[in-house]
Structure 1
């Protein structure tokens, strides 16, 4: 009887584990650049600077998902630390004062990957479950 209970528990663990891992990957954010850029691992602060028009943003070309995209909302909340509304207001102010133009916005994961592959200094965020082509490398993960 004891071995049957143990076998049932092990089977339950095996069945649940893949779902747990995929759920974790779905909520994980990665920041990606071309592998030939030799970009070192970035800190959260450096990623924030790049995507908010700071000094690192002059070296890199950040790519955003279009406004309202769930990936963008997660990135803004968890990595940038601001709501979508605050990020948009910030970029509106920078654009109005002439200090910086907002990053390019794309609609899909495929568009972002294509853009990264064709623009050497670009950097973008993606959900953790995305299978990257070998030409791209993860430079930050949350």
Structure 2
């Protein structure tokens, strides 16, 4: 009976951690507010600037990571396959380049902390004082 209870508890904890919020982060020096619509335009290559006109450099996590899948679904309203087809078309026609992919949350944090123009997303549990969280999903 004890093993069953432990298994259920472990399953519940894993489910909660798999559904962790996604935090959109920028450099602490960046004072721009960022809406879902802004994120959609930035990460789909429809704009390359923040609201104040300063350059924006969006950073993605690799395909297949849970945070990337959740961001693509909740923010961009597209599946991984849809985004792959979208970017393939833009790259092929010379009309766009997808956001740079970083290896993991730590790499996104380091890049955002080092570049005032960078914007990325990470698991909310990874946020620390080196970056500023502007919204969560």
Structure 2: 5+ residue stretches without partners: 1-11, 50-54
Distance 2:28 2:75 in 1: 22
2: CA distance between counterparts of 1:120 and 1:68? Answer: 27
Bigger radius of gyration among the two: 1
SS in 1 for 2:75: helix
Q: How many residues align?
A: 121
Q: CA RMSD in A?
A: 2.2
What's the counterpart of residue 39 of structure 1? 32
CA–CA distance in structure 1, aligned partners of residues 23 and 59 of structure 2 = 13
Q: Any conservation in 2 of the 1:25–1:129 contact (CA below 8 Å)? A: no
Once residues 69 and 51 of structure 1 are traced to their aligned partners in structure 2, the CA distance between those partners, rounded to angstroms, is: 16
List aligned pairs for 1:47-126, cutoff 5 A: 47-55=39-47, 57-58=48-49, 59-126=55-122
Gaps of 5+ in 1: 1-18
Q: CA deviation at 1:26?
A: 4.7
